[in-house]
Copies of this chain bind each other. A is one copy, B any other.
């Protein structure tokens, strides 16, 4: 029963993560919009992790992991990431004074690469179509004696992301509301696994759904099949943050047990949600961060008369991508 050796985090692990993150991460607010409520016919709260340090939820898991690495670990940390985990790891390593090397796809958004470097990390670009980022990351970790900080399949990373679920439960209680539905983006599944760990313990009645881009709905299909299935290769999406091919082992072990299902949204749904967030919520949301809002707006689940929380997981988007979205449907 020693929690530190347990492969899957529990509520206590999430609470321990929250204690480590205090004063470092932002406690993001729980926002309510009269316009969104009217549109949904219910109460729909937004949890804007766009407002988190580094512009996405990823700082939480990264800092929870990296703050437990001894400060004299000369090898520092290594990570592979499409961009948000990269920034989270780089910022967390910088706070702890640890060197960081981050493996990023060469076609990652320019803002994500620039920000990762600005947090003091060494960035190594790779070709997403021809190279294996996990192999590159493992090799660099071995060469440098660095700790590999996985983007989702790590109990400490999952527990860190779970602090969002903790905050949602506490903030809902403070507002006197009991959410029936939580919609949350899923890539590798760490964010939603952490949130579900906290939420299903604190709010046993809540139903939690994954939102994913069409063609990358491996979590939804894996949940339906009760086994990990991969996305077909060759698909594309504007959601650069959500292109993991297969659910994580640890994350799926949690999600298979705790989630109610998943929804896939089109790139057009995502752009519509980004434009809505610009026009009505006044929030900058990146494509991958907007999939849960897209699922809500596209009517993937009935929200009439219900109380729901929608996690908007990140806002790191290049101006051109953003303006294409808000011009296209704004």
- CA of A50 to CA of B281 in the docked complex: distance in angstroms? 8
**Do A326 and B322 touch (CB < 8 A)?**
yes
- Which residue of the partner chain B has the closest CB to A55? B282
Among A27-35, A152-160, A181-189, A246-254, the one that faces the other chain is A27-35
Residues on the B chain within 8 Å of A55, using CB: 280, 282
Residue-wise, chain A 40-62 has the 8 Å CB interface mask toward B (1 for contact) of: 00000000101101010000000
Q: Which chain B residues lie closer than 8 Å to A50 at the CB level? A: 282
Query: What chain B residues lie within 8 Å of A26 (beta carbons)?
Result: 31-34
- Which label, helix, strand, loop or mixed, suits the secondary structure of the A interface? helix
A330: B residues at CB distance < 8 A = 319
Inter-chain contacts of A284 with B (CB < 8 A): 278, 282-284
A145 at the interface (CB under 8 A from B): no
Q: Is the CB of A29 within 8 A of B32?
A: no
A286 CB → nearest B CB, Å: 9
A327 in contact (CB, < 8 A):
yes
Complex alpha-carbon distance, A283 and B315, angstroms: 9
Q: Which residue of B lies closest to A31 (CB)?
A: B51
Min Cβ gap A316→B in Å is 8
State the copy count for this chain. 2
Task: Tell whether, in the assembled complex, residue A319 and residue B51 are in contact, meaning their CB atoms are under 8 Å apart.
Answer: no
Q: Mark A12-39, 1 if CB is under 8 A from B, else 0.
A: 0000000000000010010111110000
A73 at interface by CB-CB < 8 Å: no
Residues on B with C-beta less than 8 A from A29 are: 29, 31
Q: State the CA gap A34–B330 with chains docked (Å).
A: 30
Q: A301 at interface (Cβ–Cβ under 8 A)?
A: no
- B279 and A111 contact, CB distance less than 8 A: yes
**Residue A124 lies at the interface, judged by CB distance under 8 Å to chain B:** no
Find out whether the CB atom of A322 lies under 8 angstroms from the CB atom of B278.
yes
Measured CB to CB, the closest approach of chain B to A170, in angstroms, equals 14
Instruction: Report A324 CB to chain B, min CB distance, Å.
Output: 9
Known: A282-B315, A320-B327. 8 other contacts (CB 8 A): A26-B33, A33-B51, A34-B53, A111-B279, A282-B284, A283-B283, A319-B326, A323-B326
- List 21 A-B pairs, Cβ < 8 Å: A26-B31, A26-B32, A26-B34, A29-B29, A29-B31, A48-B282, A50-B282, A51-B282, A55-B280, A55-B282, A111-B279, A278-B319, A278-B322, A282-B283, A282-B284, A282-B285, A283-B283, A319-B323, A319-B327, A322-B326, A323-B327
